[in-house]
Amino acid sequence: MKPGALNYFRPKTVEEAVTLLSEGGLDARVIAGGQSLMPMLNLRIVSADRLIDVREVPGLTSWSSDDREVRIGACVTHERIQSGDVADPSLGLMPKVAANIAYQAVRNRGTIGGSLALADPAADWLTTMAALGAVIEWHGVEGKNSCTAEEFVLAAYTTRLDVSDILTAVRIPRLPAGARWGAEKLCRKTGEFAHAMAIVVRSPQHCRAFLGAVDGPPIRLTRVEGALAGLADWRVSHAPLLAEAMKADLAVDGREISDIKKWQSRTCLIRSVLKSFGVAPVTVEMN
């Protein structure tokens, strides 16, 4: 199948793109890499009266950095992050995540901004940006706005973006020297969206732990973070303690999660913690 008839626009500025989007209302769609939107248009899952291509808007395909953070334009592709064409503030976490997104053809065109704006719960960047404490920027009819990645997603496929807002960039703080991380993604085969995901970032200053692919925003595991903050090294006896801490975090979150999803999430969490300690992941019983 092919998409229905639509009007195609290639704005030259963010302001022009916002105007086109505002005028089009619910019948307007923004396209960058198109790796999610085009299949949905082709299958007539979604429709559009106007398609607004932002790939030529200055600033959206570039990046900048200083000693505190790296700012990445929304149209920077997964491949550019994977290959090191973009400065890495994450000590290797972001290139690792990018390399495991879908397939190379998708990484060549798919963009970090498009992934965040779509807010598929199983997408890799949502959990990664939350774990890194990133800030997401967007531009709308009322001007510029931003919030933390942790606050950006409201529900599955729902973000703080209004219908006329365009995600423009993401700012990622540089991890301090000595920081360690671990990331685990569970899927049946390479290239699929995650059935479960966990990312842990540990540094002398703080610990951050998040679960992804949980049918909504990533879940921050504050009790797990507290337990990790007191660990100088890894021992097998720590696994059930972290599992109990995760159980308490999920109870506070209150989201309905199946038993199999909880088991998958625990497995991902423990494996990501093991990786952050430089220990090879093993099968751990946590019943």
The token pair that represents 217 in the structure block:
């925003």
The distance between the two most distant Cα atoms of the chain, rounded to a whole number of Å, is: 61
- Residues 6+ away with beta carbon under 8 Å from 223: 245, 246, 248, 249
* Per-residue confidence band for 28, with pLDDT thresholds at 50, 70 and 90: confident
Pick the closest to residue 202 from 116, 99, 279 (CA basis). 279
Say if residue 218's pLDDT is above 50: yes
The token pair that represents 259 in the structure block:
């038993």
* β partners of residue 185: 197
Mean per-residue pLDDT over the chain, rounded: 91
Say if residue 214's pLDDT is above 70: yes
Percentage of the chain with pLDDT > 70?
96
Give the pLDDT confidence of 141-195 residue by residue, as tens digits: 999 999 999 999 999 999 999 999 999 999 999 999 999 999 999 988 777 789 9
Query: Is-contact 150 62, C-beta < 8 A?
Result: no
* Per-residue confidence band for 286, with pLDDT thresholds at 50, 70 and 90: very low
Record: fold of 7-53? 3.30.43
Q: What is the 3-state secondary structure (H, E, C) of the chain?
A: CCCCCCEEECCCCHHHHHHHHHHHHHHEEEECCCCCHHHHHHCCCCCCCEEEECCCCCCCCCEEECCCEEEEECCCEHHHHHHCCCCCCCCCHHHHHHHCCCCHHHHHHCEHHHHHHHCCCCCHHHHHHHHCCCEEEEEECCEEEEEEHHHHEEECCEECCCCCCEEEEEEEECCCCCCEEEEEEECCCCCCCCCEEEEEEECCCCEEEEEECCCCCCEECHHHHHHHHCCCCCCCCHHHHHHHHHHHHHHHHCCCCCHHHHHHHHHHHHHHHHHHCCCCCCCCCCC
* β partners of residue 182: 200
Distance of CA 8 to CAs 87, 113, 259, Å? 33, 20, 46
pLDDT at 284: 47
**How many angstroms separate the CA atoms of 55 and 3, rounded?**
20
Tokens 């973070």 found at: 225
Class of domain 180-276: alpha beta
CATH (one of 3.30.530.20, 3.30.365.10, 3.30.465.10, 3.30.2320.80) for 63-173: 3.30.465.10
Domain ranges across the chain:
7-53, 63-173, 180-276
Query: Is-contact 88 47, C-beta < 8 A?
Result: no
Domain 63-173 identical in fold to domain 180-276: no
Question: For residue 40, which phi and psi values (nearest 5 degrees)?
Answer: -70, -35
Percentage of the chain with pLDDT > 90?
75
pTM of the model: 0.92
